[in-house]
Amino acid sequence: MPARACPSAAPKPEYRLPKSRSFLGASRVWLHVIASDGLMATLQPILRQLSYVETLGEASGPSDLKEVYLVDDALPDALELCRALPPSTSKILASKDTTFAHHRRCADANIDALIASPVGPRELVDWIEHFDARSSDRRATVLIIDDDELAAEGVAALLTMRGIEAEILGDPTKVFEVLDRSSFDLILLDLEMPQVNGVDLARMIRLNRSYLSVPIVFLSAGGDIETQMLARHFGGDDFISKRTPHGQLVRLVELRVERARVLRLLIERDGLTGLVDHARFVERAAQELARCQRTASECSLIMIDIDHFKEINDTWGHQTGDLVLRRLASALVSWLRRTDIIGRYGGEEFGVLMLDTPPERAAPVIDSFRRHFSALDMTSGNATFRVTFSAGVANAREAGDVASLIAASDAALYRAKGAGRNQIVLANAVPGTRSEPTETVPRAETPKRKAKAKALALHKSQTTHTRQVVTEVE
């Protein structure tokens, strides 16, 4: 009897991705949303407040964007859907399930982020900024401190081949001059040097708060376990032997740099807006001021303050006030160049460093943005209102130190406030010279404002009536 042929297994049907809705904002993230109607209804006002605009009918976005998918776990086969997404994309799953088993299933499905559903604006912004930072086009920078010039040049050449900028410092006694001049993602430090050993130099570097977050990786031709532990104890983050294969050495540096960037983003960024925080902004301002003095280049500092922000909080609530701050931050990032430095200085005040730009060129850019921002609709529930800001512009070349630079910009800002708000004032401008305020910008209606308007209208009416009586008598 002939053997019965075994039926061949049917090929697994290819998973067909459901249609997504795509959004572009100020960041380099192209956000694709695959969600139920309920989650989409929650997301749309959040994305609108973050200045994200839906891209209708576009099959692909700009090539330099990082594609991120936000998937609703309430959809059937949500995990299978995530597995079917292109490997080059990042995946966020919005889910109500917080169990260990669900976390394991998400990890198995190569999901990059798990956020609570319904989605909150702050958590979504944090993850978008995280993926934006990972797709940064800024080249990583490494400082190599080694008295062995030949060895240092060999390591630098390997890093350069992988797209990492490397600067060599052969004299460790000049380390603080170099660190004050430039920012580095990582320091590669030789353990044995004649002027000072690597462990002592690491301890000296860690004495300065500005360098606490910069990872230090020791390079050495030898070094026993006790020496390695001592190096780590006094500020070192890792220890790499100079005998490590070249490919592995470079990869270890790349991984360290990537991790350092993520941690620095968490440490040095304002938690609400994602901009650099006060301390980091002042530090960058000092660095740019030193660069201007050294190279005779131009730089403008702009201090921006939202008009009547307390009134916004009192009328619409602090959550709406937070959304206004995020909206301004997002719009600034979108409007300005990637080389410009934007920070949250404190409260409703923001700082902008426009590099290689004198105040005469910086002021029109900020003024155009002022007009743009004052025309944006802010929403709170079913209500809509608009917001304005005032700004002061100062020239870095006219300041002796960072404190006087900030003071000059602040003084110009307060002149703008005193002149009626919603305008730009240059620190060195002739008094009375300023940008024209936007003609009409609806503001939040509070009971206090309504009462004041009513009283003013009554006063005008009485004044008009009195003038009419006087005219009749005359």
Element (H, E) at 188: strand 186-190
| pLDDT of residue 471 exceeding 50 | no
How far is 391 from 262, CA to CA, in rounded Å?
Answer: 31
More confident position, 383 or 432 = 383
| pLDDT of residue 33 exceeding 90 | yes
- Residues 6+ positions from 170 with CB-CB distance below 8 Å: 146, 147, 149, 152
Q: Is the pTM of this model over 0.85?
A: no
pLDDT reported for residue 439: 42
Running DSSP on this structure, what letter comes out for residue 269? B
pLDDT band at 466 (very low <50, low <70, confident <90, very high): very low
pLDDT reported for residue 58: 54
More confident position, 136 or 50 = 50
| pLDDT of residue 10 exceeding 90 | no
**pLDDT single digits (tens) 283-293:** 889 888 988 88
pLDDT band at 314 (very low <50, low <70, confident <90, very high): very high
| pLDDT of residue 437 exceeding 70 | no
pLDDT reported for residue 140: 84
pLDDT reported for residue 361: 95
More confident position, 420 or 208 = 420
The HSE-up count of residue 257 (CA atoms within 13 Å, CB side) is: 26
Highest averaged pLDDT of the listed ranges 126-130, 324-328, 445-449: 324-328
What fold is seen in the domain 21-134?
A: Rossmann fold (3.40.50)
How does DSSP assign 158-186, residue by residue?
A: HHHHTT-EEEEES-GGGHHHHHHH---SE
DSSP count for the chain of H helices, then E strands: 15, 18
How far is 305 from 370, CA to CA, in rounded Å?
Answer: 11
More confident position, 22 or 330 = 22
Q: What is the mean pLDDT of residues 462-474?
A: 34
Q: What is the mean pLDDT of residues 445-452?
A: 45
Q: What is the mean pLDDT of residues 134-163?
A: 84
pLDDT band at 446 (very low <50, low <70, confident <90, very high): very low
For the chain, the farthest-separated pair of C-alpha atoms sits apart, in whole angstroms, at 131
| pLDDT of residue 114 exceeding 90 | yes
pLDDT band at 435 (very low <50, low <70, confident <90, very high): low
Task: State the chain's mean pLDDT as an integer.
Answer: 81
Contact, 314 vs 382, CB < 8 A? no
Q: What is the mean pLDDT of residues 53-62?
A: 67
Q: What Cα–Cα distance (Å) separates residue 356 from each residue in 22, 206, 303, 337? A: 35, 31, 17, 11
Helix (H, G, I), strand (E, B) or coil at 39: helix
| pLDDT of residue 430 exceeding 60 | no
What is the percent of the chain where pLDDT is above 90? 39
Q: What is the mean pLDDT of residues 424-446?
A: 57
- Residues 6+ positions from 184 with CB-CB distance below 8 Å: 141, 142, 143, 167, 214
Q: What is the mean pLDDT of residues 396-408?
A: 91
How far is 392 from 383, CA to CA, in rounded Å?
Answer: 31
pLDDT reported for residue 133: 61
CATH number of 141-268: 3.40.50.2300
pLDDT reported for residue 461: 43
**pLDDT single digits (tens) 243-259:** 888 888 888 888 888 88
Per the structure block, which two tokens stand in for 18? 């459901």
How far is 26 from 53, CA to CA, in rounded Å?
Answer: 10
**pLDDT single digits (tens) 174-224:** 999 898 888 898 999 988 888 888 888 988 998 887 788 788 988 876 656
pLDDT reported for residue 404: 94
What fold is seen in the domain 278-443?
A: Alpha-Beta Plaits (3.30.70)
pLDDT reported for residue 344: 95
**pLDDT single digits (tens) 97-106:** 999 999 999 9
| pLDDT of residue 379 exceeding 80 | yes
How far is 232 from 243, CA to CA, in rounded Å?
Answer: 19
pLDDT band at 362 (very low <50, low <70, confident <90, very high): very high
| pLDDT of residue 332 exceeding 70 | yes
pLDDT band at 434 (very low <50, low <70, confident <90, very high): low
| pLDDT of residue 346 exceeding 70 | yes
Ranking 144-148, 411-415, 430-434 by mean pLDDT, the lowest is: 430-434
